[in-house]
């Protein structure tokens, strides 16, 4: 038997594995060039939603990643090891952070750095911790239980791990920092008439005052929060529009070009307190929040927000694909 066929298959298989993605054509108008447009071709790897989904499953399998628990420590170790498969430059920033109720949270911001030598950088972030109390559960008996946090926590991390994997296979050619914030979701429960706005986002408050590189800056930042529920709607959230309207429009333009207008709504909504607030305020990096939020819905956030039903059954690969492909395209087009 002629054995050149298996070799040819092997070779084409290699190209398939190594070079899946597409060349997209972007028209850019350069300021000061008399409106002349240039078309540039940029390679964007394919975002694998199955992979992102499995990264969420892995996190959820640890149990709720509530600070000061064994599940939290084990997941931190797994996140660090995962990043180390994709880049040699991984930083785990540990800090004891004081919660609104005085509890000291053994917190870890987990950071992956790509192309540390390149000055032109972008920031991608999400929180990885789980809320200790399902205080919005319809059943009062569940409100002291922790949240499985598949969507509110797991989804943004799953998407960013897949983006990290793609960047390890195809160098984006610019600096990228992925920061997974800890202790975002330990905010004051509503029944305590929570008005303590700074009780949320403790990890991002710490990192934005103590970045992993002194004097750290980036051209822009994108925060991913609750990007996995089926039927998600990402609106133009007020804090993002206040600090980073140009970035928001650029991301929404890309999403619409890719056909995701059902997810990325051209609708302005109210201001949220989330990790991007502190990145904007303390580091002055224009940072948007891609978040499943619409104040005209009953809950504002997705249906199972801060309930014990925020589990894998609600995670949609289509939604992960929409969010992940959009962010990956924006990053590669930033070169
Ligand atoms: C408030 O509810 C004040 N902010 C939303 C931040 C958040 C909670 N993101 C995920 N969980
Ligand atoms: Zn939350």
10-residue block means of pLDDT along the chain (335 residues)?
Answer: 43 50 62 48 96 99 99 99 99 98 98 98 99 97 98 99 98 98 95 78 98 98 98 98 98 98 98 98 98 94 97 98 98 98
pLDDT at res. 5: 44
C-beta of 236 in contact with ligand 1 (< 6 A): no
pLDDT at res. 23: 77
- Residue nearest ligand 1's atom 7 by CA: 274
CA angle 232/319/126 to nearest 5° reads 85
DSSP alpha helix (H) spans, 62-170: 70-86, 156-169
CB 204 within 8 A of CB 225: no
Which of 49, 230, 228, 62 shows the shortest CA–CA distance to 155?
Answer: 228
Q: Which residue has the tokens 């309930």?
A: 307
CA angle 318/319/321 to nearest 5° reads 65
C-beta of 152 in contact with ligand 1 (< 6 A): yes
**From the CA of 278, which ligand is nearest?**
1
CA-derived radius of gyration, the chain: 20
Tokens (6 digits) for 115: 């192309």
DSSP string spanning 202-254?
HHHHHHHHS-SSTT---SEEEEEES--BTT--EEEEHHHHHH-HHHHHHHHHH
pLDDT at res. 6: 43
Q: Which residue has the tokens 């509110």?
A: 152
Mutation choice for ligand 1 from 196, 238, 274, CB with most ligand atoms inside 8 A: 274
Write out pLDDT tens, residues 101-159. Answer: 999 999 999 999 999 999 999 999 999 999 999 999 999 999 999 999 999 999 999 99
pLDDT at res. 14: 45
Fold classification of 10-332 (topology level) = Aminopeptidase (3.40.630)
CB 59 within 8 A of CB 154: yes
DSSP alpha helix (H) spans, 98-155: none
The residue ranges of every structural domain in the chain are: 10-332
Which of 136, 127, 56, 148 shows the shortest CA–CA distance to 306?
Answer: 136
Phi, psi of 277 (to 5 degrees): -55, -45
pLDDT at res. 190: 75
pLDDT at res. 31: 40
- Residue nearest ligand 1's atom 4 by CA: 273
Coil vs helix vs strand at 311: coil
Q: How far is the CA of 160 from the centre of ligand 1 (A)?
A: 19
Is 282 buried (19+), middle (13-18) or exposed (0-12) by CB count in 10 A?
middle
pLDDT at res. 15: 45
- Residue nearest ligand 1's atom 1 by CA: 273
Which of 124, 125, 128, 39 shows the shortest CA–CA distance to 79?
Answer: 128
Mutation choice for ligand 1 from 65, 147, 272, CB with most ligand atoms inside 8 A: 272
């Amino acid at each position: 038997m002629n054995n050149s066929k298996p070799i040819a298959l092997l070779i084409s298989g290699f190209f398939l594995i190594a070079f899946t993605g597409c060349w997209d054509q972007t028209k850019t108008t350069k300021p000061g060039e008399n409106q002349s447009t240039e078309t540039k071709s940029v390679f964007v790897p394919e975002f694998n939603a199955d992979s992102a989904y499995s990264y969420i499953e892995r996190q959820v399998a640890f149990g709720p990643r509530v600070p000061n628990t064994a599940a939290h420590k084990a997941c931190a170790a797994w996140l660090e090891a995962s990043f180390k498969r994709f880049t040699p430059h991984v930083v785990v920033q540990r800090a004891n952070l004081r919660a609104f109720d005085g509890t000291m949270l053994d917190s870890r911001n987990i950071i992956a750095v790509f192309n540390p030598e390149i000055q032109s950088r972008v920031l991608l972030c999400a929180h990885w911790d789980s809320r200790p109390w399902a205080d919005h559960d319809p059943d009062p008996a569940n409100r002291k239980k922790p949240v499985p946090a598949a969507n509110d926590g797991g989804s943004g991390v799953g998407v960013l791990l897949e983006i990290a994997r793609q960047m390890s296979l195809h160098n984006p050619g610019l600096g990228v920092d992925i920061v997974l914030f800890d202790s975002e979701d330990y905010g004051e429960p509503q029944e305590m008439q929570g008005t303590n706005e700074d009780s949320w986002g403790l990890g991002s408050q710490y990192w934005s005052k103590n970045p992993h590189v002194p004097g750290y800056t980036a051209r822009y930042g994108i925060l991913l929060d609750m990007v996995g529920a089926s039927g998600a709607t990402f609106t133009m959230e007020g804090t993002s529009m206040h600090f980073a309207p140009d970035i928001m429009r650029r991301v929404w333009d890309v999403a619409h070009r890719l056909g995701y207008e059902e997810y990325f709504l051209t609708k302005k909504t109210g201001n949220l307190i989330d990790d991007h607030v502190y990145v904007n305020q303390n580091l002055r990096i224009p940072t948007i929040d891609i978040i499943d939020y619409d104040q005209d819905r009953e809950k504002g956030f997705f249906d199972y927000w801060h309930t014990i039903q925020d589990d894998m059954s609600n995670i949609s690969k289509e939604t992960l694909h929409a969010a992940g492909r959009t962010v990956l395209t924006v990053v590669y087009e930033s070169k």
